[in-house]
Homo-oligomer: A and B are copies of this chain.
Amino acid sequence: MTMTSDRPVSLPDDHPRASGAKPTPRVDVAGMSEHLLGRWPEWRRAARERATDPTFWKDESQSMAEHRERVLEQMKLLASEETHQVWLGFPERLGGKDSSGANLAGFEELVAADPSLQIKAGVQWGLFASAILHLGTPEQQDRLLPAAMDLSVPGAFAMTEIGHGSDVASVATTATYDPATQEFVVHTPFRAAWKEFLGNAAVHATAATVFAQLITNGVNHGVHCFYVPVRDPETMEFLPGISGYDDGLKGGLRGVDNGRLAFDQVRVPRADLLARYGAVAADGTYSSIIDSPGRRFFTMLGSLVQGRVSLDGAAVTASKLGLAIAVKYGAERRQFTSSSPVEETVLLDYATHRRRLLPRVAETYASHFAHDRLLDLFDDVFSGEKDTPEQREDLETMAAALKSTSTTFVLETLQECRVACGGAGFMTENRITSLHHDLDVYATFEGDNTVLQQLVAKRLVGDYAKHLKGSTKTPAGLARFVVDQAADAALHRTGLRRFGQAIADVGDPRRAAGHLRDTDTQRELLADRVATMVEDVAMAMRPAQKADPVTAARIFDENQVQLVEAAKAHADLLRWSAFTEALADIEDPGTRRVLTWLRDVFGLTLIERNLAWYLVNGRLSAQRARTVTSYVDRLLDRLRPHAVDLVDAWGYGPEHLRAPIASGLEAERQEEARAYYAAQRASGEAPVSEKSLKKKQR
């Protein structure tokens, strides 16, 4: 790893800009790095180790066709590994380890090798095989999973249709049961019902898990999943009735062969309806363990939440990679002369540069800790340890909240990293644009972020309504926990208002800043905002319950932007809470101190971002609000010497970053230039500048 001159090397080491003589704490990089590996350190470490093997690296020079084949070969290596990382989530009786959490912990790290590999592997094991696992019966698992697991059957996950992206309940593909032959007839009735954007579909898939409306005896029982062979594995020709289309070039992820599939009266044996949540008897009688069609649908979809969980983790990983590159470069690169007439200023010593990058480092830490909690909850549910309907609902809400936040954040972050590195950031070899292109689609697949945010907001509003009724007491998952906290804060709102008023009367901004650094103050401000927004929206939408559909739609429309804002505020609170809780687990005092500053930066930039809300709603006085920005700036200045340590602690070395600008090359070049000028001055041959001559003449 790069050693930079600005890293504090011993304790105590005064921060050059600190006014007092307080010793600057130091981040224990190795310890923190270990700590951040989380609950399944061995699997995450192994996966990260694998990502240093050039065999798994993205080769930017390849054509789309070559890239697709390379990724398939990489997947074969994953499938043949002795350790079988990609099988971890599958049942022990089939060679897996029934360890959903460990599986994702390792899987997310694939993004450091090549996001195309992460996504194409995700299609195979996280979607196609997982559909068999979660929607199939034990018999179907035994029969169909092994070939999906060992990649002898590459598969597509045929859910999305051209006409219906995030609205899965409305897919138009039909599977009509024919009792005469005991088969389902899978059919695409029109072009909008083509299955679209399916990974593996363009080239490699020989089978697909196809979502279609199950119709039997004239009744549509809603969306179910069918196992459908699509290509002859020998010739790789489409089977009769199947047709396809190669989506071709995309904005990124060119190693994934996305495509369309359509079905023309394709016959599927009755046994290949994945029948865990709905089965059809030989005579066409439908049965299900879940009576309500609505709940059945959401249970089936909910079992596939893994995709969203892993995208959240992958987005956090990509944010780390981008920021590590930009921060390391920013800690070496010099431009323009500022304080010294000889030496140019290091980029991170510019306030604007710190502002661009360091709050994003803080937000990435928050996202990391929140993702860890999400993984916990995911593992609790899918290990069966704490698998209740409420836990599942919490998991889905939290996954939606975090996935929609982190996959938007990563794009803004990579863009900021790109421009923060200037022209060098635009060079493919420096990774940032490549990661940006690949991660772009994460914001809309596995649930469009705006749709997910509405889902979260609806849950929050629903909880609020229950809370009002006082009739429901649900167990506390993490998501619920913080919502409760938010609700609690709402109850004490009057108190908080008085508190705000008290601050308004305090004349000294320094003191107000002291308050803002206070954990409880930050929590109250953030939680109160969620609670108030949810309450406001819930109240505003109340009339919709008894209105005609058109009026109800208008009321919904009028509150939609606020709904989404409430969901964002909720995700912010989730992440802030996770960061705050994580601080307690950090044992090294220096590390904890620096991380606490970083948490303060996160909390305060959230407040700064929504400052108008706090002012308009009387939660902060103008005078106090004025101190937020300057306090953030002071914290960023204080964090400056720790910037490189903070990104190093994420544990990505040169083989993960693979960016020449983050390799120390820049500092080497500067050293060479410095030596040249020193030699020139020593030789007495340095030219005089016209400017200085003119000054002397005056």
Interface residues of A (CB under 8 A from B): 17, 60-61, 63, 160, 162-167, 170, 172, 189-193, 196-197, 213, 215, 218-222, 247-252, 286, 292-294, 335-341, 344-345, 349-352, 355-356, 411, 415, 418-419, 422-423, 425-429, 432-434, 436-437, 440-441, 443-445, 448-450, 454, 549-550, 552-554, 556-558, 560-561, 564, 608, 611-612, 615-618, 622, 625-626, 629, 633, 669-670, 672-673, 676, 687-691, 693-694
A selection of 29 A-B contacts at a CB cut-off of 8 Å is A60-B249, A162-B669, A167-B336, A190-B669, A190-B673, A191-B672, A192-B670, A192-B672, A193-B673, A197-B423, A218-B687, A218-B688, A220-B688, A248-B427, A249-B428, A250-B433, A251-B418, A251-B428, A339-B550, A339-B553, A352-B561, A415-B415, A419-B443, A419-B449, A419-B450, A423-B444, A561-B633, A612-B615, A617-B622
CA–CA, A411 and B625, complex, Å: 30
Given A622-B615, A690-B222: A352 in contact with B564 (beta carbons within 8 A) = yes
Besides the known contacts A191-B669, A350-B560, 5 further A-B residue pairs in the complex with CB atoms under 8 A apart: A190-B676, A293-B689, A293-B690, A352-B564, A618-B622
Choose among B61, B553, B622, B690 the residue that contacts A249 (Cβ–Cβ < 8 A).
B61
CA–CA, A350 and B441, complex, Å: 22
Residues of B within 8 A of A336 (CB): 166-167, 170
Choose among B425, B434, B549, B689 the residue that contacts A339 (Cβ–Cβ < 8 A).
B549
Let me know if B192 and A673 touch, CB within 8 A: yes
CA–CA, A422 and B452, complex, Å: 13
Question: Shortest beta-carbon distance, A9 to chain B, in Å?
Answer: 23
Let me know if B219 and A160 touch, CB within 8 A: no
Residues of B within 8 A of A554 (CB): 17, 339
Choose among B340, B422, B564 the residue that contacts A165 (Cβ–Cβ < 8 A).
B422
Residues of B within 8 A of A694 (CB): 292-293
Let me know if B293 and A691 touch, CB within 8 A: yes
Question: Shortest beta-carbon distance, A662 to chain B, in Å?
Answer: 15
Residues of B within 8 A of A556 (CB): 338
Question: Shortest beta-carbon distance, A59 to chain B, in Å?
Answer: 11
Choose among B165, B345, B611 the residue that contacts A612 (Cβ–Cβ < 8 A).
B611
Residues of B within 8 A of A218 (CB): 687-688
Given A249-B61, A338-B556: A616 in contact with B615 (beta carbons within 8 A) = yes
Let me know if B676 and A189 touch, CB within 8 A: yes
Given A190-B669, A293-B691: A441 in contact with B423 (beta carbons within 8 A) = yes
CA–CA, A170 and B345, complex, Å: 13
Let me know if B560 and A248 touch, CB within 8 A: no
CA–CA, A401 and B278, complex, Å: 62
Let me know if A220 and B690 touch, CB within 8 A: yes
Residues of B within 8 A of A352 (CB): 450, 454, 560-561, 564
Q: Residue of B at shortest CB range from A345?
A: B553
Q: Residue of B at shortest CB range from A450?
A: B352
Given A338-B556, A351-B557: A411 in contact with B422 (beta carbons within 8 A) = no
CA–CA, A445 and B419, complex, Å: 10
**5 tightest Cβ-Cβ pairs between the two chains A and B:** A251-B433, A339-B553, A611-B612, A249-B428, A220-B687
Q: Residue of B at shortest CB range from A415?
A: B411
Let me know if B557 and A250 touch, CB within 8 A: no
Residues of B within 8 A of A454 (CB): 352
Residues of B within 8 A of A689 (CB): 219-220, 222, 293
Q: Count chain B CB atoms within 10 A of each CB in A344, A557, A672 and give the residue with the most.
A: A557
Q: Residue of B at shortest CB range from A612?
A: B611
Residues of B within 8 A of A167 (CB): 335-336, 344
Choose among B192, B426, B612 the residue that contacts A440 (Cβ–Cβ < 8 A).
B426
